[in-house]
Amino acid sequence: LGGMTTIDMSTGNAVVIANNTEVSGFTITNAGGDFDAGIFGNAVTGFDINHNVLNGATFGLRLDGTNSGMVSDNMASGNAVGFFIGNLSGGTVSGNTASGNGDGFFIGNLSGGTVSGNTASMNTSHGFLINTLSGGMVSDNMASGNAVGFFIGNLSGGTVSGNTASGNGDGFDFGTIFGGTVSGNTADGNDFNGFEIFNFTGGNTATFMSNEALNNTLKGYNVLSGTPGTGTGTNTGSGNDSDDTF
């Protein structure tokens, strides 16, 4: 499916995809209903969703179940959730922009694949929300002007690296960290904390190193419990109210 086509919906999902489907070049607005989406799929593989504009729905993009494919160079604004993926097990989410939504990017479980080079700005809740990160990579993304730049509820594997959170409420929030790697990220000029970690579990295998916290209004690193398996003392910063290093 493709072409410079505008779809203005009042109810239902606008485009429903199957395996090995390409959706490109659409402008989709006002997909109606509490759970409807501009583009919808359920447990699909081999898809290529690119260069679409998704506005004014509950979900700009909604992929339920376990999915593997490509989501690239799309724009979502004015939705409750810009991009929703239940479980990403492979493929790439790259070069997308989410602005002015509730949540920009919402991934239930990232177990494989790459989320890279995306931008989330001025979303009223989270720029990037990942409930569980057990594999794959989150890299080189930018979050600015959101209530929370990056939120990861449970981190047990995979890598979070090279991301930047600037001008949000909190920059990076982590719930419980069991494992995985968090390295080379920058939190700059956020209204509250640069990095907030609720709990490094006892006996965790996590690497948390070489991150930087700059000019955040409260703490550079607000670590409520525990320490990482590797990386304590390598995280730097300046210009925060307190806790410039960790």
**Torsion angle of C-alpha atoms 168, 180, 49, 108, degrees rounded to 10:** -70
Q: What is the rounded CA–CA span in Å between residue 176 and residue 225?
A: 9
pLDDT of residue 30: 78
**Which one, of 82, 217, 59, lies nearest residue 143 by Cα?**
82
**Model confidence, pTM:** 0.95
Q: What is the rounded CA–CA span in Å between residue 75 and residue 228?
A: 36
HEC readout, 183-226: ECCEEECCCCCCEEEEEECCCCCCEEECCEEECCCCECEEECCC
pLDDT of residue 3: 52
In the numeric block, the tokens 């209204």 are attached to 191
pLDDT of residue 29: 87
176-215 pLDDT per residue, tens: 999 999 999 999 999 999 999 999 999 999 999 999 999 9
**Which one, of 44, 39, 80, lies nearest residue 62 by Cα?**
39
For the chain, the distance separating the N- and C-terminal CA atoms, rounded to the nearest angstrom, is 50
90-109 pLDDT per residue, tens: 999 999 999 999 999 999 99
pLDDT at 33 over 80: no
**Is residue 36 very low, low, confident or very high in pLDDT (cuts 50, 70, 90)?**
confident
Q: What is the rounded CA–CA span in Å between residue 187 and residue 171?
A: 5
- Under DSSP, the state recorded for 245 is -
Mean pLDDT of 117-127: 98
Lowest mean pLDDT among 20-29, 133-142, 208-217, 224-233: 20-29
Q: Give φ, ψ of 93 to 5 degrees.
A: -115, 105
Q: What is the mean pLDDT of the chain?
A: 94
Q: What is the rounded CA–CA span in Å between residue 6 and residue 4?
A: 7
Q: Which residue has the higher pLDDT, 38 or 148?
A: 148
Give Cα 192 distance to the centre of its chain.
Answer: 19
Cβ-contact 163, 213 below 8 angstroms: no
**Which one, of 108, 103, 111, 113, lies nearest residue 83 by Cα?**
103
208-221 pLDDT per residue, tens: 999 999 999 999 99
